[in-house]
Amino acid sequence: MALVFGLATALFGAPASAAADASLICDRAAAEAAAATGVPISVLKAISLTETGRDRGGQTRPWPWTVNMEGKGLWFDDLDAALGYAYEHFKRGARSFDVGCFQINYKWHHEHFASIEEMFDPSANARYAANFLLSLYNESGDWELAAGAFHSRTPEYADRYKARFAEFRAQFAAEDGLPLQLGAPILPVASTPSVFGATARIRVNSYPLLQAGGQTALGSLVPLGSGTGGGASLFARPDAG
């Protein structure tokens, strides 16, 4: 399947300053999640880049307002634009879409969040992903294997993802074991119930797909046998597969 990528600036405008600052948000969320869970900061930063990385001034940077809608990946300038796009497709019946710094899938995981807004919340998104990665690490004792399983249980797809992940992680390896640089606080996204219909509050460390007998295929935690292929990350470079 051909994957489509794009920056939605032409459709959803935003002040330049908001777009310029957004690339730092996922880094802060990753640092918070690393401090809370013990997952190495290099692992979380590399996963976020592999999932949402886009070019910013010649560097690949993570992007919090990223949406993968049924195979079409878009970067938006701000939260409002990303939410508007997600809601537009939600109204037509779309449920399998990934959002945020770590691309959490709405269909399988919205019940762990109060609303779609909370799924976009960088801190909530990162904490959920970190706990999932920690569960995968506990299976293998290897962060690279955990990253591959985060993407797919199918070796062919996991191996390609691991190669891209390892390339990114090497950039941040020196940060492991150092005091975490949290930077400016992240303003929380509103967590009131929304038109997206999710009613359950976020439940930390509650992952039904990770219980005994539960298998996952994609990094967005889609169950095996769901009919969704385990292809490459939507935001990987073409040479990464």
pLDDT one-digit tens code per residue, 37-88: 999 999 999 999 999 999 888 899 999 999 999 988 999 999 999 999 999 9
- Tally the domains of the chain: 1
Distance in angstroms (rounded) separating the CA atoms of residues 127 and 101: 11
β pairing state of 72-75 and 66-69: antiparallel
Mean pLDDT of the chain: 75
Distance in angstroms (rounded) separating the CA atoms of residues 29 and 99: 14
Distance in angstroms (rounded) separating the CA atoms of residues 134 and 128: 10
Q: What is the mean pLDDT of residues 208-213?
A: 29
| pLDDT of 217 above 60 | no
Residue 26 tokens, joined = 């996922």
Burial 98-129 (b: 16+ CB within 10 A, else e): bbbbbbbbbbbbbebbbbbbbbbbbbbbbbbb
Q: Grade residue 142 by pLDDT with cuts at 50, 70 and 90.
A: very high
Distance in angstroms (rounded) separating the CA atoms of residues 232 and 160: 7
pLDDT one-digit tens code per residue, 172-208: 999 998 777 666 555 555 433 333 333 222 223 233 3
Q: Which domain holds residue 208?
A: 4-177+184-240
Residues of the chain with pLDDT > 70, as a percent, come to 66
| pLDDT of 156 above 60 | yes
